[in-house]
Structure 1
Amino acid sequence: MDILFSIIILLFVVALSSSLVKLLPFNLPAPILQIFLGALVALPPFNVNIRLNPEVFLFLFLPPLLFTDGWRFPKKEFYFLKRPILALAVGLVFFTILIVGYFIHWMIPVLSLPMAFALAAVLSPTDVVAVNAISGQGKLPSKLKLVLEGEALLNDATGLVAFKFALVAGVTGVFSFKEATGDFLLVALGGILIGASVAWMMCFIQNKIARFSHDEPGIQVIVLLLIPFLAYLLANEMAVSGVLAAVCAGMTMTYSQNVIKTSTASRLLSHSIWIMLEFVLNGLAFILMGLQLPHIMQTIHESQIENGTNSVVQLLFFVVAIYIAMLFLRFIWVYLANKIKNQDFTSKPPLPQLPVLLTATFAGVRGAITLAAIMAIPFLTSNGAPFPNRELLIFLASGVILLSLIVSSLVLPAVVKYFEAHISDPIHQEIIYANQLLSLEAIDAIRLRQEELLNQLDLDETSVEAINQVADNLVQIYERESNLTDEEIEKTSLAILTLNYEAELHIAGIKAERKLLDRLHLQHRISEPTFNHLLRDMDLRETLSENRQQRKV
């Protein structure tokens, strides 16, 4: 029961931290508060103490987080921005591992060179969720934002695969660059193939289950939830990259679900569940890090570290030095990459160069992926001996994560202000363009079906008029959507206002409906199933109206 009670406390702390962040009068990234609260509940009177098996920790956190990153990232933009993305996600990762690895080994001799490389590798992945939380959604130029998102997606894979190789080399003492390069390519390719295959196979199974279960969304979502874990496990069993398998499975989902059609109810439910799961796992990862900090600090304080120091001040100095070294290397790399043709991170017209460099540099925030990987270092080696310097590695990685969050939360909001006059949103323009085409197609379909109904049915004059009126009302809605183009913006201002007012009035009506529904339920004038059915219908209609209201020109 103790572990169940601890899990309940941690889930409550996740919800509490998200609420407290919004109530604070200043901008504080949620991960910083979650780390603090995690350390707090580890102390009396709470004394929450959870020590997950590292493999279990890795399995619970990495696959779903990597899967959602891969699923969310726009594939077309990834292709067009592949050069700057690969420059950061692959080139910068190996550049950082090499330079920072040697620097860490020189500064902390107790860490062998492979262990120093492992620490540099695990610190390579960046967290775009934390960057968006710090800078604010929609405040970065679109191209720069997509490059940073693409980097965060791919460097998770490259950094964690390199981390695994370095960790094995650190324990065994055996390392060959030539063999490691060949093995890296083999496990990377194997992980990609397995991830794509599992995604296609599970979507096919999901489609078959939907037919047999009469399109029951709950069963389909369960199958969907299994995909990242199955891809990760299967890849690990075949000695290839489970990390890349989870990422590739997520990236494949967009195409596989388009080919193997999924129902609307299944898509809505799965979207909600994945948002909730990502929110909980991100929060739990940082809270668990905070939970470990008092124990790590006590272990470091009580045990003599082999380099002859147990000074917390010196350890904090190491954290700061590692962070500054990584920040400096990132700035240099971004500066050089931005000078190369077809690898720049800006759009046309070009953005101010210094804000771009500073934003790309301080966007190197470390987050949940780094944390999940470093916490998964085993307690014992294969021969049963304690894993060398495990607490030191976790402390240094945790310190760099925390420091990167703090520094970026101070710098990024000030830097992104320079982009206010340069922000463009091609996604918004694409939505307007696609809505116009979709609306015209819908109008044609409505008119065609209207004619079919009038020809097929034997109707009196009143019924014919009713069908025509309903069709005209629907066509008017779609016509307002189709008129929202930049070229006709002046003469369609009334249509824009009409759409916004329509959404606001519809939401007001739904809220009134919901209040009455609550009263009917409390007064036992309607049954529980009736209440739930009508409430779900209202929620869906309100979501639709809110989405329409957000699509403003």
Structure 2
Amino acid sequence: MNVVTLCLFLLLAVVASSIVSRLLPSALPRPLVQIGLGALIGLFAGIRVELDPDLFFLLLVPPLLFLDGWRIPKDELFRDSRAILGLALGLVFLTVLGVGLFIHWLIPAMPVAVAFALAAIVSPTDPIAVGAVAQKVTVPKRMMHILEGESLLNDASGLVCLRFAIAAALSGTFSLGSAATTFAWMALAGVAIGVATAWAVVRGKALFAERFGDDTGSNILVSLLIPFGAYLLAEHVHASGVLAAAASGIAMTFAGSGVALGAVARIRRRAVWDMLQFTLNGVIFVLLGEQFPDLIHRARATIAVTGHGSMWWLLLYVGAIVAALGALRYAWVWVALRFTLLRARRAGATNTASPPQRIIAAMSAAGARGAITLAGALTLPMTMNDGSPFPARDLAILLASGVILASLVIASVGLPLLLRGLHLPVDEGIAEERDRARIKGAKAAIAEIERVQHRMAEEHGDADRSTEIAARIMDQYRERIDSITADDDDRTWHAQRYGLERTLRLAGIRAERATLFDLARQGEISNTLADQLGRELDLADARLTRHSV
């Protein structure tokens, strides 16, 4: 019963956070609201959650990483693979080494192996935190794609470094060769298992559906189970479960591209995943907040390990660690950008102007930490091999929690300031590619309509009616082609005409929907019929509304 009550409290807090975040200033992102509500639950509700890191990872992390991998633009991911791998691997290893030594220098009471473990814990950015902070900030698309790709992949490198730091703390020895071999296995096997799992499940489900039929519910359920299967398989062979979940999501784009799936199934599947993403994101940050009161309650005793009694030393340590993380990240991004521009110039590229310094600063400020950092901190063992307490464990958890909160505040406040008024050149290649796709799609539609119209005329012997209907539909496609290929003046005219038509269509759709539900309330039509027709109108409304933004 306590577990059920806890789950209801968490879900209620997630719903309340959505309401509160809309009432507060737009610069305050929802994660901070959720952390605040979680802290209130921890203070006043009398509920304590003992987070099991393994269970936390299994239930909350795989589906979110899977969805991020599924929805991240693949062309941009592969195009910026050098920058992403540099941040996900090079920056993480540099952070573990540099920040680990800095933490040991800053807090001599913390053993060097534990300092490296703490550096490994705070090194990976969190895809959930990055995405949540970016919801209320207009981030340049390419920058956002790099941040998403980095946060998808750097969990594995950070957690591998954490594993070896803990092993060194427990045994007092460290082998670089063993660490490199283990990292290669965890990364490569994790990616391979994730891709294989997604491919095998999707293709197997498609083959079964071809012979025995299919239904929407099973398709949605299968997609929900894939990340958990990939994660558990990878962990079973001591590979990276988080990488397997992310890789299975990336593979879904390619594994499912040739699988026939109805429009209704796709719409419902997306709706289910949107709901799951909103819920799990919220639960994670509420749980983060719920942990803070207990951590703060133990803070005075924890800080005593360092030889100080004042709580101000805790804030000083957190601030120093956050500053070191930011300085290393800024330096890495700046150097990587110099090398990228140098390679471009050697390749003969003409447009190699340096981006504004504010972009580099924004890349540094956007390195938010979140659930992965907290879960990593909680994996620190309670005792050493001889049964003695693990040194500075509570202090490491407390500092990691402070870094999470500070990084979220910095990203929430810093990104809007750094990106305000920043005008970046429009990527003409993307616009041209979109126009080419629309024109080819419209021409293919016209050709198919003509083919079907001739076939229907032959079968039914009513050529005039099918010709009239086909001509009306093809005219709509030709108008689309004309609006794309027209000159600037004509394009402006077409845009104004489309805007007026969209406004009128939306007004008609919404009036029709309101009338339907009025008729249902008056008992003139059934509620079932009203819901069915209302869903059709909702889809049309959503399509027109989406095209307007």
State the match for 1:435 in structure 2.
Answer: 438
Structure 1 contact 119–397 (Cα < 8 Å) conserved = yes
State the match for 2:27 in structure 1.
Answer: 27
Matches within 5 A, 1:297-376: 297-302=296-301, 305-341=304-340, 348=351, 350-376=353-379
Bigger shift: residues 409-418 or 288-297:
409-418
Spell out, residue by residue over 1:279-325, the C-alpha distance to the aligned partner (whole angstroms, 9 max, x if none): 22221111111101111122233567433345322112111110000
List runs of 5+ in structure 1 lacking aligned partners: none
Bigger shift: residues 526-535 or 326-335:
526-535
Distance of 1:186 and 1:23 partners within structure 2: 48
Per-residue deviation at 1:132?
5.8
Residues 301/341 of structure 1: CA separation in 2 closer, same or farther (3 Å cut): closer
With structure 2 as the length reference, what TM-score do the two structures score? 0.91
Matches within 5 A, 1:135-214: 139-211=138-210, 214=213
Per-residue deviation at 1:212?
6.1
Distance of 1:525 and 1:381 partners within structure 2: 74
Spell out, residue by residue over 1:87-117, the C-alpha distance to the aligned partner (whole angstroms, 9 max, x if none): 2121111111110011112222343323222
Code of the aligned partner of 1:541: A
Alignment partner of 1:273 is 2:272 = yes
State the match for 1:452 in structure 2.
Answer: 455
Match for residue 400 of structure 1 among 393, 399, 403: 403
Code of the aligned partner of 2:191: I
RMSD value over aligned CA atoms? 2.7
Per-residue deviation at 1:213?
6.4
Residues 5/308 of structure 1: CA separation in 2 closer, same or farther (3 Å cut): same
What secondary structure, in the 3-state scheme, does the structure 1 residue paired with 2:417 have?
Answer: helix
Distance of 1:125 and 1:217 partners within structure 2: 37
Distance of 2:418 and 2:92 partners within structure 1: 24
Code of the aligned partner of 2:179: A
Bigger shift: residues 58-67 or 535-544:
535-544
Code of the aligned partner of 1:231: A
Matches within 5 A, 1:71-90: 71-90=70-89
What secondary structure, in the 3-state scheme, does the structure 1 residue paired with 2:124 have?
Answer: coil
Spell out, residue by residue over 1:398-433, the C-alpha distance to the aligned partner (whole angstroms, 9 max, x if none): 211111121232222122135225354754543332
Code of the aligned partner of 2:197: V
Alignment partner of 1:419 is 2:422 = yes
Residues 330/315 of structure 1: CA separation in 2 closer, same or farther (3 Å cut): same
Residues 83/448 of structure 1: CA separation in 2 closer, same or farther (3 Å cut): same
Distance of 2:279 and 2:342 partners within structure 1: 36
What secondary structure, in the 3-state scheme, does the structure 2 residue paired with 1:526 have?
Answer: coil
Spell out, residue by residue over 1:42-71, the C-alpha distance to the aligned partner (whole angstroms, 9 max, x if none): 112x22322232211111122112112211
Code of the aligned partner of 1:30: R
Spell out, residue by residue over 1:92-150, the C-alpha distance to the aligned partner (whole angstroms, 9 max, x if none): 11111110011112222343323222222222222466556556678444433332232
Distance of 2:525 and 2:172 partners within structure 1: 71
Code of the aligned partner of 1:482: I
Distance of 2:481 and 2:393 partners within structure 1: 60
Residues 516/374 of structure 1: CA separation in 2 closer, same or farther (3 Å cut): farther
Per-residue deviation at 1:238?
0.9
Per-residue deviation at 1:441?
0.9
Matches within 5 A, 1:236-251: 236-251=235-250
With structure 1 as the length reference, what TM-score do the two structures score? 0.90
Alignment partner of 1:98 is 2:91 = no
Alignment partner of 1:284 is 2:280 = no
Code of the aligned partner of 2:423: E
Residues 312/505 of structure 1: CA separation in 2 closer, same or farther (3 Å cut): same
Distance of 2:74 and 2:315 partners within structure 1: 40
What secondary structure, in the 3-state scheme, does the structure 2 residue paired with 1:540 have?
Answer: helix
Bigger shift: residues 538-547 or 2-11:
538-547
Structure 1 contact 432–484 (Cα < 8 Å) conserved = no
State the match for 1:502 in structure 2.
Answer: 501
Per-residue deviation at 1:184?
0.8
Code of the aligned partner of 2:9: I
Report % sequence identity: 37
